[in-house]
Amino acid sequence: MAVPGGMAELNLRERDHLFKTLRARPGDAVELFDGRGGRMDGIVRDGRVVEILSAERVSEPERKLFLYCAVPRRAKFDVLLKQAAELGVWSIRLVECVRSVAKPEGSDRWQVLLQEGCKQSKNPFLPEIVPPVPLAVALEEIRAESICAFFGAIRSGERGAEAAAKLAWIVGPEGGFTGEEEAAMRAAGVRGLNLGPYVLRLETAAVCGLAVLRQWMEQ
């Protein structure tokens, strides 16, 4: 992390966004994040550089929110990534389900979208995208790490997340989970959470469920 009095190191994309898109001028105040908890206040100086005025390290949150998600089609995933970052998701684990259709492409674009979501929300921690695994492997991971997990279901379980240090929201593919997958989740201790009487699209269900868990975490 840069120190006060030093100059911020901006990559080409960030420089273009600041000076070409936002048209920053000398004397303009700038707020910077490094994605790992570093937060800095700066000021634009002559020569299209940013001087750091103050810097601080934000502590990692005591309670973390995880998203386990089947991969939606590209355009939908682009929007979902930004929204997950805005909601403060700690990591995104891609999950392969029986009815999965889309395949993860993997791209530098994903990191750009997460960065945009963090900048919009001033979230100092950039979420990590974890490579895809079968749902069964994800459930073992959830159990091993004592994560309090939920999935969308008509039959809701008890809330039971007030004291959990780690919460997760599991979202299936457009075709939904199979009966066997739902039974496996319940056997692994994953609770059902009813988001309403209507069938939601993958990206809608992901954001709604994350928002509910985020609210629980703040209470």
Q: Could you report the per-residue pLDDT of 103-136, keeping only the tens digit for each? A: 766 667 889 999 999 999 999 999 999 989 999 9
Q: Are residues 81 and 179 in the same domain?
A: yes
Cβ pair 167, 149 in contact under 8 A: yes
Q: What is the pLDDT of residue 160?
A: 59
Q: Which helix (H) or strand (E) holds 33?
A: strand 29-33
Helix ranges (H only) for the chain are 12-16, 74-86, 108-121, 135-144, 179-187, 202-218
Pairing of strands 49-57, 38-45: antiparallel
d(CA 125, CA 33): 8
Residue 5 lies in a domain: no
3 state SS of 20: helix
Nearest CA to 89 out of 144, 126, 135, 131 is that of: 126
For residue 36, the enclosing domain spans 12-57
Q: Are residues 108 and 34 in the same domain?
A: no
Q: What is the pLDDT of residue 52?
A: 93
75 DSSP 8-state letter: H
Residue 3 lies in a domain: no
Q: Could you report the per-residue pLDDT of 180-199, keeping only the tens digit for each? A: 999 999 999 999 998 888 88
pLDDT at 162 over 70: no
Q: Are residues 51 and 86 in the same domain?
A: no
Q: Could you report the per-residue pLDDT of 8-50, keeping only the tens digit for each? A: 888 888 888 899 888 999 999 999 999 999 999 999 999 999 9
pLDDT at 157 over 90: no
Tell me what the mean pLDDT of segment 46-58 comes to: 93
Q: Are residues 133 and 210 in the same domain?
A: yes
Q: Are residues 35 and 103 in the same domain?
A: no
Phi-psi region of 48 (alpha: psi -120 to 50; beta: other; left: phi over 0): left
Which CATH number goes with the domain that contains 26?
2.40.240.20
Residue 183 lies in a domain: yes
Q: What is the pLDDT of residue 105?
A: 67
d(CA 214, CA 29): 31
| Neighbouring C-alpha atoms within 13 Å toward the C-beta of 170 | 31
Q: Are residues 136 and 32 in the same domain?
A: no
Mean of pLDDT over the chain: 90
Q: Are residues 33 and 140 in the same domain?
A: no
Q: Are residues 119 and 195 in the same domain?
A: yes
